[in-house]
Amino acid sequence: MTSLLSCNGDASSRIPAASSRWNTSSLNSEKEEATSGLNKMPPSSGTAENGDANLPQNLLYYLEKHGQFDTLECATSIGEDHQKIVGAVKSLQTTEGLVETEERTSKSLELTAEGREMAENGSHEAKVFRIVGPEGAAQTEIMKLPFGKVGISKAIASGWIAVDKSGGIVRLIRKTDEIDDKVQRELRVIADKNTQSADVKVVQELKKRKLITEISIKSYLVRKGQAFSTVLSKPEVDLTADMISSGSWRTKAFKKYNFDALGLMPAGGHLHPLMKVRSEFRQIFFQMGFVEMPTNR
């Protein structure tokens, strides 16, 4: 009996130990899983910096280095959007005497959607020449293509192909083995903004075929102003008592008042004090559930 009790006692004493070991191992496993989960998480990428806020300051450094610049040429030089450059220059103009600007208008040639397709894949006449091939092709089959009619007429005018009616079927045959696709070449030149090296006659022909269009671009010539500085400081709006007491107002730049700006129009009339009390009582009755009866009966 004694041995049985001692055995039960030993068993009971061993059970908590086993359970404690199980709890410890389970906690360790959970801790390892949590740690491994943290290790598997991707590192934070951080906050992306916005370079647009520093663009006006960078333009001041650019102006200090070059003396003056054109906004369109500056955008091409630093690889920035032209509209962003113009916006930054406008923000610099808010500080009086910092910069001086002169508006310019320049013309540029741009490819239309059809022109971009030809610059990549060749002109319509060159496509027809390739389709005709050394063996020739039926004219009716080529006319079914979207570019067939224009391509055939331009290829015949260029002397690349000819019409053969000897076999009873109108066929197109080549008149030469090699061609020079001037249209594609000139379109690529214009796409690369090398308009000075483009052939004038070809450019006029491309305009007639609506492969290019002429656009006007407004830009600004930016020069240093009388109060130019590379330190961009915001002008003060109001004169404070601290400025007067310390004398710092002498070195501060203040924003000029616009005396030509229209003021706020005053409200026309107001309620009589008794009418105000009446309207307040009216709202109280509405909140209590009363309904206003029509008085025109």
pTM score of the predicted model: 0.49
Which residues of the chain does CATH 1.10.10.2330 include? 113-215
Sheet holding 137-138, edge to edge: 137-138, 171-174, 161-164
State whether residue 27 is helix, strand or coil: helix
**Torsional sign, CA 157, 158, 159, 163:** negative
Where in the chain do CATH 3.30.1370.240 domains reside? 54-111+217-224
Contacts of range 81-90, beta carbons closer than 8 Å, 24 or more positions apart: 82/217, 82/219, 84/52, 84/55, 85/55, 85/59, 86/219, 86/220, 88/55, 88/56, 88/59, 89/59, 89/220, 89/222
For residue range 84-126, list pLDDT tens digits in order. Answer: 999 999 988 888 788 999 998 888 888 999 999 999 999 999 9
What local confidence, expressed as pLDDT, does residue 7 receive? 38
Task: State the fold for domain 54-111+217-224.
Answer: Ribosomal Protein S8; Chain: A, domain 1 (3.30.1370)
Which tokens hold the place of 216?
A: 């006007």
How far from 69 is each of 52, 57, 278, CA to CA, in Å? 19, 15, 68
The torsion angles phi and psi of 229, rounded to 5 degrees, stand at -160, 150
Q: Which pLDDT score is estimated for 195?
A: 66
* pLDDT single digits (tens) 26-74: 444 444 444 444 333 333 333 234 456 688 889 999 999 998 999 988 9
CATH assignment, 113-215: 1.10.10.2330
CA distances, 136 to each of 124, 154, 166 (Å):
17, 17, 13
Q: Are 69 and 101 in contact (CB under 8 A)?
A: no
Strand residues in 8-128 grouped as ranges (E)? 68-70, 99-111
Residue 14, token pair as written in the block: 């061993």
Single out the residue of 159, 175, 178, 165 nearest to residue 139, CA to CA: 165
Q: What is the pLDDT of residues 21-38, one digit of tens each?
A: 434 444 444 444 444 443
Residue among 196, 225, 177 nearest 107 (CA)? 196
